[in-house]
């Protein structure tokens, strides 16, 4: 009888520990969601760049070029140079 009671108590304790773990996991997920939403409100361009980096691997070369930071002059000119080289290659290969 005491072993059965001990097993029931151990099972209830394990159940309570598991429920507590699930609550903490849900709270961590909620905090992460709020953090992402706050980032989008405070710095929307950072959220756009982060999203682009996450999905860029799944896209092919036909997709639109990656976002360029508007404050970064070097990135702007690098993207212009890349575009000019791509157009020059197309003209050479198409024979126009």
The tens place of each residue's pLDDT in the chain, 96 residues long, gives 788 888 888 889 898 988 888 888 888 888 888 888 888 888 878 877 877 777 777 767 666 666 666 666 666 666 677 778 877 888 888 765
Q: Within a domain: residue 21?
A: yes
Q: For residue 70, what pLDDT is reported?
A: 64
Is residue 92 situated within a structural domain? Answer: no
Domain that holds residue 9: 2-68
- Tokens representing residue 52 in the block: 């682009």
Q: Residue 80 falls within a domain, yes or no?
A: no
In a domain, 89, yes or no: no
Nearest-5° Cα angle at 74, 40 to 87: 100
**Total domains, the chain:** 1
């Amino acid at each position: 009888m005491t072993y059965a009671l001990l097993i029931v108590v151990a099972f209830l304790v394990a159940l309570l520990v598991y429920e507590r773990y699930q609550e903490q996991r849900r709270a961590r997920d909620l905090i992460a969601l709020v953090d992402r939403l706050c980032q989008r409100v405070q710095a929307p361009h950072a959220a756009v760049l982060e999203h682009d980096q996450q999905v860029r691997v799944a896209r092919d070369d036909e997709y639109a070029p990656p976002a360029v930071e508007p404050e970064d002059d070097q990135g702007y000119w690098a993207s212009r140079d890349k575009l000019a080289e791509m157009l020059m290659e197309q003209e050479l290969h198409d024979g126009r």
